[in-house]
Each structure stands twice: as C-alpha cells, then as structure tokens.
Structure 1
Amino acid sequence: MAMVEEAQFWQAIGILIKNYHALNKKIFEVVITRVEKLEDGRPSESTEDELSKALKEDPNNRTCTSIKIGFKLLPKKLLNNILGTGTVDFVERRYDCQFASDDIEDFSVHLFEGQFQLKSKQNPNWLEFVLKPKLFSWSQSKQDESKVKSLGLVNVEKYNDLYKELKQKHSQRLLEYWKTAQESTDPLKFIYEDLAIAAYLIVLWSQTQSEPKAFADLGCGNGLLVHVLNAEGYKGYGYDIRKRKLWSLYPADTQQSLIEKPVEPNSFRLDFPDVDWLIGNHSDELSPWLPVLAGRLNIKYFLLPCCPYELSGAKFHRRNTKISAYQDFFLYVSQVSQECGFEVLHDRLKIPSTKRLALLGIKRNNTKTIKDLEYFVHEELAKYKSGESEIKLREKEEIVRNCTQVDKSIIDALVIKIFQQLLDSHEDKWSGRLPMREIAQSLTKEELSGIKTECGGIKTLLRNKHEVFEFCGGDIIGIRTPKPTAPAIQSRLTTKKRSCFFKLHHPLGCPLKDDECSFIH
C-alpha cells in the first residue's frame, strides 16, 4: 500500500467520521450531536463545520490539538439509536472511536510512518479487509465540494424514524397487493423506494411549514406513493394515462384519488382547486414539464427526474458532454425551473435507485412573470422544431418492444441459426463463443430488420433466450451449459412447460437427467 501523507490521513478520518454507515450495512446514517475543540489548552464548544475546517488545515499551522465528537448511529432496523464518541488527536495523529453498545466494536486509527495502523479488541479481519482499504481509498480520493449532500434538506433522524415506521406499517400489505395483481416489477424496489419518498416528503413538509392542502402526483404509475400519503393523512390525487392493475386493490378512498387521464402540458387542467403541490416521481416525459406546470399554477413542486426527455417529448439533447447524461439532464431541468421563477433546491435521496437527485420549488421569484415563463417554453420548443400544438408525450396504449411481438417462426429460425453458428466456432465440444458483432454481421438485412424495431434487436433476442445463450463478458456470446435445478427451487418455478432446447438441437443432447432439467425431455 502506498505511503499516506498527514493531510490525506485527516481527509480519510473526516470522511470516516461522517460515513461510518459505509462500513456497516446495518447503519443508515451518522448524526453528529456535539463537537468540542481543545485549543491552547482550553476546551470550547464548536460546530460540525469547524470540525471539517480543522481537519483540512495545514498540519504545520494548526493550533487545535484535539477534538472530541459526540454522535449517534441511526440503525436501519433497530428502534434505538447507538451513541458513540470520537476523539481526534492531532498531536499523536490518531483517531479513537468508542460506541455505547456491545454490538459495534470500538477501534482506533493511527498514522505511523505513512501507513494506517488499526487496533481493536476483536475482529481483526474487519479492520484489515473492510476498514483499512476504505480508509486508503478515502485518503486518495478527490473531494467534490459541489456534490449534493444526501438528505440535506430534512432532519435525518426524523426521516429514518418515520421511514422505519412506514415500512413496519405498510410493507407487508403492499407485498400482498403486488402478489394479487401479479405485477412483473420488483416489489421490494418499488415499495421501499416509494415508502422512502413518502417519508422524505412528510418530514420536508413538516420542517418547511408547507404541508399541502392537497397534492397531485403527475404520472403516478402504480399509484403507490399516492396510496401511502393518503393513508398517512395527506389528501392528494394521482394522474396517469393508463390505469394499473394495482389500482383496483387499494382501499376505496385511494381508488377514487387515482385518475386515468393524460397529462398534455398545454391543455391539462387539475380537477381539484385545492391542489398546491405537484409531485413528479420518476415521471419520465413529464419531468421537464413539472416546473412549468407548477409555475403556471403558482404552486410548489417536488421532482425526482428519471429518463431524460425534452419539453417536446423527444429524447434529451445533450448540452454538456463533459458530465454524465443524467447530470446534464438534471442541470437542464434546474435551468427550466429557474426560468419558471423558482428558487431551486436540490437534494439527494437515499432510495434503491441510481436516479436519486431531487429538485424542489417551494418559493418563486416575483420578478419572473407567466409571460416570461411562456416565452421561455416557446423558445425551447422552437429550438427543436416542436410547435406548442405538436407536443408528443406518451401514448395511452404502451407499445411492447421486447421481441415478444415478433412472429414466433422468425424468432425460432434466428435462434437456431445463431446456435449453430456458435457450435461451429468449435471452442469446445459443448459451447462455442463469438463476439456479438460477428453474430450480427452473419445475419441478413431481412433477418435484422424483423427485430430491429423491437427496441434492442439482436441483444434483446439473446437476453430473452437466456436458457440457451449467455453473455460471457464484454461483447462475447456463448451457449449456456444447463445446470440442475434444486427441487425446492423447481417447486416455485414454472417448469416442464416447454421442450428442452438442448435435447432437441444440441448434438450431445442435454447433459441433465430428466428430473434435474426444468424443461420436458
């Protein structure tokens, strides 16, 4: 391991103090409750910002000799928080961490001859293989001061307590709804994500004294967020162009709050005059329109943008290729919000999604008029030759584009052709491997055109036939070797419904016995 300079050591300790949860998956967040500096032999109360500043100071010019830190660990599941104490010793170049719980181990970190020296009474493996590599990584990282802090607009402790309460109260019933509706989406992701968003909004509303008279969730999808907020006493409605299977399973009051209606930006009108908050929860094509609609109505909004789209409904045109497409789109929607007169707030949610940056418009700048807003929208649409009457968002009938709509005989012929091509590559007796590009080049234009419009084409076809093909890393495709299915798992799966592909088409047949294979022999 490379040598660590003193400034790098204290950078790593600064990150460790606030990010212990990165080392322990049972912990949700760290909350610093007290900071006491010892300077010129005199103790004094200090702040979290002063702590960060002291850790970044030049070691040769530092006057502070030590800092004591009180903090709370907020567990993800346990009811009670765990208290802890950290001691920064600048003279000894050492950090000691102690916890008021036997479930979490005390430890110390010392910089000695350019290396991290770690000590604890137990669990040396955790020190060596978890804490030490993390500290070294943190010591070498470049700190991005502009990065949006997670849950920066809400009280993290209140949020965590409420999130645990909502999970306890709602998750089991929502899982039952999912099973009854036979939804194909992952229930754990959607349920925990929307419970987290509900907890965030409730805490935010209480802290900013901006609780809604009523809210409207535009592009509400399965209506889960509307249902949870309604159940927690917040009046609100959900709009979506298509009714979902889950809607009919919610209680009657939630069902009445879910409205099957397209949200066409220039003609859409709310059915309820008391709505004073708009919500866009991964609202796809509607995302850039949320600030515009909120500005027109002079109400507040919360937006968690997802897939990037223009105001026209077309795919987002990149403005800045030096950053990620998601960051670029996020900055664009922030600009739209500012042009609509909002004082834009940013936050980073803790949800099971890579798209977790949120925008909030709670206050508007009175210097921006509706005329200014409409002029900006008109100019933005004109850039991409979209007249205001030509805005095209989502169709009511969703087109399925996953190769399932292609004629079965075409799919079967392509699968056999690709399978034979892999066999002929003769990597071994069982399975050949080829680059995807070589497979695609072997197919005729007619064969490719039959699946190209199916959103993914050849790659989607190969993924759908995962019982036959496997992705071997990079661009390489191979033939999957069948594995026996455990009886306990087999009983939960739909098995013995189709003939075994390998039994029919592989020259060596299927290597599995009849009772081991999920398909008919």
Structure 2
Amino acid sequence: MYASLNTRQTNIDRSSNPSCLYLIFAISCVTFLFDTMTAVEEAQFWQAIGILIKNYHALNKKIFEVVITQVKKHQDGRLCESSTEELSMTLKEVPNKRTCTGFTIGFKLLPKKLADNILGTGTVDFEKGLYECQFASDSIEDFSVRLLEGQFQLESKSNPNWLEFVLRPKLLSWSQSKQDEAKVKSLGLVNVEKYNDLYKELKQRHSQRLLEHWKTAQESTDPLKFIYEDLAIAAYLMVLWSQTQSEPNAFADLGCGNGLLVHVLNAEGYKGYGYDIRKRKLWSLYPPETQKSLIEKAVEPNNFRLDFPDVDWLIGNHSDELSPWLPVLAARLNINYFLLPCCPYELSGAKFRRRNTKISAYQDFFKYVTQVSHECGYEILQDRLKIPSTKRLALLGIKRKASKALEDLEYFVQEELRKYKTGDAEIKLREKEESVRNCTRVDKSIIDGLVLKIFKQILDSNEDKWSGRLPMRQIAQALTKEELSGIKSECGGIKTLLRNKHEVFEFCGGDLIGIKTPKPTAALPQSHLTIKKRSCFFKLHHPLGCPLEDAECSFIH
C-alpha cells in the first residue's frame, strides 16, 4: 500500500480523538511541503538507503541492532559473493561506474527482549531505484522504498502510519546528512550478537533483585537508569575481556559509588574490588562476598596504593574527578584500564577548563583524557556504548608501550597541575562528607524572609485579587546581593528555593513564576499530602487568607 498523506488512512476515530487527528494532519502537511520543496537526488537516495540497511533499529525501538550476515552482488545475471565494504562503496559510486546491478543482503535483527533473532533479506536494485526489505517474522512488516521523480515512494501492506511518520522523516534526514567517517561506531570492539544475548541474560538474572535492593535502601536515584546502565557495562566488559583474551586476574573500580558494577561482575565470577570515599546504603544489601570487596577509602592520586596485588585492570565508570587520573594510575601500576568519562574535571580536582571551544564541552574533555592516555604510553582504543546515558564514549588502554618513561608522564602531570590549578598546589578531589546544595542548610530566617518578599512582589503584580505572575528575571532583579548571597553558594540560585516552596509558588511555563492556588486534600494524590504538620502560609500571609476551609486544607489554620 502506498504511504499516502490521506488522513483517512490513519485509522483514528476522528470523533473520539480530534486533537490527535489534527496533529497527524499538521505533520502530514509539513511532510508534504518538505517533500515537494526538497527533491531527492539519486546519490542522496542511495546514501539514505545505505544508512537504512545498517540502522533499521533506529526505526524500531524493539530492535537492539542489525547484524549483516551475508552480501551478494548481482553481476552478469549471477549472484556473486561480496562484502559490506563493497556494498557501502558501490552505494556511493556514480551510476555509470557501477559494475553490478544490485545486491542481496542477509541480516539478523537482534531484539531487545525476544529470545530469538529475526532474519531478514534486503534487495538493492540500481536499475529500478528500489530497495525492498523482507522479514521472516509476522511481527515486522515488509516494506519497500523507491526513488520516483525525486521523491521517496514508500510501500507496505498494512502499516502506512509507520511509513509516513517514522520511515519517511528518517530517510529525508539521512539523505541530507553529512556522513562523518571519523565517528566512533557503537559497540565496535565487541561481537554485538554475543553482547546482546549476554545483556538480556544479565537483566533476567539480576534486575528484579536489584530493584528490590533499591526499594529497601530507599535510594533517591532512578533505579532503571542505574541498574540497566551498569548491567550493560558489565556485559560489555565481559564480552570484551573474552574476545581480547585479557580477562582480569582481578579488577578495581575506582569511585565505584553504589558498587553495582562490582556486585554484578563478582556475581558473574569475576574477582574484583570497588573503592569509594563514602560507603553507600546499597553496600549493606549485597551478598557478603561483595560487601568484602567494597572498600571505603579515598583515592588520593599521589599516594594511592591498591590493597590487592593481583589487580591488573582499573575501571572508571563515570568516576567524575578521578576520570583524568585513571590512565595515570594505570600507567604507574603498568596495568590495563577501562574508562567511561562523565563530568569534566582537571587533574587538580577543579572543574575542567576548555581547551577547544569549537566543539562541545564533553567532546573537549574526552579529547583531553585521550591526550592524557597517550602521554601515559597507551595504545588507545575507543568505543561507543549503548547505555541510557548521554556520556557513552569509552576509552580502553590494553597495551602500554614499554619505551614510554614514567618520568615523562610525571613531568606532564606536574605541568598540567601548574597550568590549571586553582588556589594552592594541593590536589583536592572529593570530600568524605558530601555537601548538600539544595537550600536545606541555609539559615531558615533567610529563607523565610526571601519567600515572603518574593510572595509579596508577585502578589503586587495585580493580575487578579488572589494571585499574580512575574518573570524569574524580574524577581531576581528586585533582590539585593546580600539577600541572594545566603543561598547562591548552596544551591546556585533562586530557582531551587522556589521549587522547594512548591506549596506557595508554581512554575507557569517559560520564565513565569506564579502564586499557587491551594487545592483541597480530597483533590490531592496521596503522595502529595502534608497533613497538618506546618502552619498554612496563605492563612498567615495572604491578604485574603486561605481560600480553603480548615478541614479541607492540609496545613494548620
């Protein structure tokens, strides 16, 4: 079925969901205008198909990755063995220079949850300007893409919405994109199929128990993000170690935080330890073997010594201030390392100072840590992990050049500390007691005074008798430096203060702050109730008092 812009094909009940129908109609109009204004050239068409062949998983959230298993080219009426490299090169060639009429591609789709992989076949036909994709599964729809009069013509049997609102925008984007050959390929150092199978096994074995630990410990962090991220990193390391024949005698995770990665690797039979300056609540919930492997100890770069001589791998998993030090510490010990850098810091422990403002702060820091690794004498490997984090680039140092003198490394470190230190020359990473920066330790009289002043300021804006609204900028400008100084160093600004006083203020979209209208307890979710623990702010300070009766209000009248 051709993917038409006709809204009747969306199979949406217009009487029950008019807003959704309007949205689809608007998207259709935009897509139609973009299609008619942007003619796709043949080279752009085949560029988009080349990306589609390797990236079908970008169109289907149930698929983890595409693995090409076989490539054959159509030449002189026969099918001849070929390769993914030849396929990629031919898709980029000028038409009259091609030596074949097309390709047949065999591939596997690796599902995120299903146990079995899904086989598929893709057919490239240069003469017809056509790519067809067929799957050996009823759960995924076959489709075809053709270049017709400078436009993408999309066909499938029964899935026009997916064609129009998922596939077409991607193809248009891919056809216009500039391909970056230097971009690090995701999971380029490991067998993707083995990784996906192991990751699914680890989730099945560990995720439910770890979720229960999170609930018991009453951790404030998002369990799904941390659990699935560390399970993915564990799967990656296990496959990498087995492929490179570099399995550790023992590993040490520096700045291990909640110890989750250490626990999973220990449970999977890998001997290793975790170091962190502070013990976490989750540590006591792990098995005794893991608890013995978690060491509450500061990692001080200039005098740090491992407690276990058999460690031959260092791990830095979002290790913050320790990230630039990890290659240095590994070089001093002459062992391997895996580093997933996150928040950027200097060797001194100060916030990272940009070296190159033409790229993002994250890219700049990653390039810097790579430079440090080269100074340490490592042959660097890079990879891009598939984890629920925006910081996915990993560095690996598996082999260090014996000719690289440690004296040169120490000179480099001292020069970096001299150039980028802040204050005295002492290396200061992290305090044992974590500072609280959410206004909860600011003097209560300062908070009460600021809240009341801002409340009256908004009320005087006279939008109506009860409430009012003001831009954040105008609120901040009305406060003195002395008034702001009491909270700025603790929470970074007035916004956190207003959020903490959510029973008084509300964020109204954009930059606007308003006074919140109290709701009766019956209308509030059970989790939002604060029953009779504090005096009602509006009863005390609003000229009209609280609009609720005593029995309705969750605060004391």
The bucket for the TM-score relative to the shorter chain is over 0.9
Q: Which piece of structure 1 moves more, 121-130 or 56-65?
A: 56-65
What CA deviation, in whole Å up to 9, does each residue of 1:91-118 have, x standing for no partner? 1111111111111111111111111111
Instruction: Quote the residue 1:179 is aligned against.
Output: 215
Whichever residue aligns with residue 191 of structure 1, its letter is: I
d(CA) in 2 for partners of 1:510 and 1:98? 65
Q: Could you tell me which amino acid in structure 1 is paired with residue 139 of structure 2?
A: D
CA distance in structure 2 between the partners assigned to 1:482 and 1:18 by the alignment: 54
Q: Distance in 1 between matches of 2:347 and 2:375?
A: 13
1:409 Cα offset (Å): 2.7
Aligned to 1:48: 84
The 5-angstrom pairing of residues 164-175 of structure 1 reads: 164-175=200-211
> Partner of 2:250 in structure 1?
214
Could you say which residue in structure 1 is the equivalent of 2:232?
196
Note closer, same or farther for the CA distance 1:328–1:472 as it changes in structure 2 (3 Å cut). Answer: farther
Q: Structure 1 residues 131-140 or 195-204, which shifts more?
A: 131-140
CA distance in 2, matches of 1:143, 1:429: 58
Correspondence for 1:433? 469
- DSSP-derived class of the 1:378 partner: helix
| 2:285 paired with 1:249 | yes
Q: CA deviation at 1:38?
A: 1.2
Alignment-derived partner of residue 459 in structure 1: 495
Shift of residue 80, structure 1, vs aligned partner: 0.7
391-400 vs 329-338, greater mean Cα deviation: 391-400
Alpha-carbon distance, 1:79 to partner: 0.6
Match of 1:301 in 2: 337
The verdict on how the C-alpha distance between 1:52 and 1:478 changes in structure 2, with shifts beyond 3 A counting, is farther
Instruction: Select which of 525, 531, 536 maps to 1:490.
Output: 525
Structure 1 residues 478-487 or 376-385, which shifts more?
Answer: 478-487
**Residue 410 of structure 2 is aligned with which of 350, 374, 382?**
374
- For residue 140 of structure 2, what is the aligned residue in structure 1? 104
Aligned 1:78-93 pairs, distance under 5 A: 78-93=114-129
Deviates more, 1:50-59 or 1:29-38: 50-59
Deviations 1:179-231 (A, max 9, x none): 11111111111111111110110010001000000000000011010000000
Compute the TM-score of the two structures, normalised by the length of structure 2: 0.88
User: Is the counterpart of residue 7 in structure 1 residue 47 in structure 2?
Assistant: no
Contact 1:495 1:519 survives alignment (8 Å): yes
Residue 386 (structure 2) pairs with residue 347 (structure 1): no
In structure 2, what is the equivalent of residue 59 of structure 1? 95
Looking at structure 1, the residues matched to 126 and 518 of structure 2 have their Cα atoms a distance apart, in angstroms, of: 59
- Aligned residue pairs, count: 520
Q: Structure 1 unaligned runs (5+)?
A: none
- Equivalences for 1:235-246 in 2 at 5 Å? 235-246=271-282
SS across alignment from 2:170? helix
* Shift in alpha-carbon separation, 1:95–1:314, aligned structure 2, 3 A: same
Is the contact between residue 290 and residue 303 of structure 1 (CA under 8 Å) also seen in structure 2?
yes
TM-score (norm 1): 0.94
The 5 Å alignment of 1:314-393 reads: 314-385=350-421, 390-393=426-429
How many angstroms apart in 2 are the aligned matches of 1:235 and 1:421?
61
CA distance, structure 1, for counterparts of residue 551 and residue 233 of structure 2: 46
| Whole-angstrom CA distance in 1 between matches of 2:44 and 2:519 | 49
| 1: CA distance, partners of 2:163 / 2:518 | 40
Map 1:230-309; keep pairs closer than 5 Å: 230-309=266-345
Post-superposition shift, 1:133? 1.3
Return the alpha-carbon distance in structure 2 between the equivalents of residues 69 and 510 of structure 1.
70
The Cα shift of 1:16 comes to: 1.3
Aligned equivalent of 1:311: 347
Letter paired with 2:412: F
Q: Indicate if the aligned counterparts of 1:40 and 1:63 stay in contact, CA closer than 8 A.
A: no
In structure 1, distance between residues paired with 2:208 and 2:549: 39
1:503 shift after superposition: 6.0
- Distance in 2 (CA, whole Å) between partners of 1:66 and 1:57 is 12
In structure 1, C-alpha distance between the alignment counterparts of 2:58 and 2:47, rounded to whole Å: 16
- Cα RMSD over matched residues? 2.3
Partner of residue 66 from structure 2, selected from 21, 27, 30:
30
Q: Give me the identity figure in percent.
A: 84
Counterpart of 1:258, as a letter, is L
The answer for the alignment partner of 1:120 in structure 2 is 156
Provide closer, same or farther for how the CA distance between residues 381 and 431 of structure 1 changes in structure 2, counting only shifts above 3 A: same
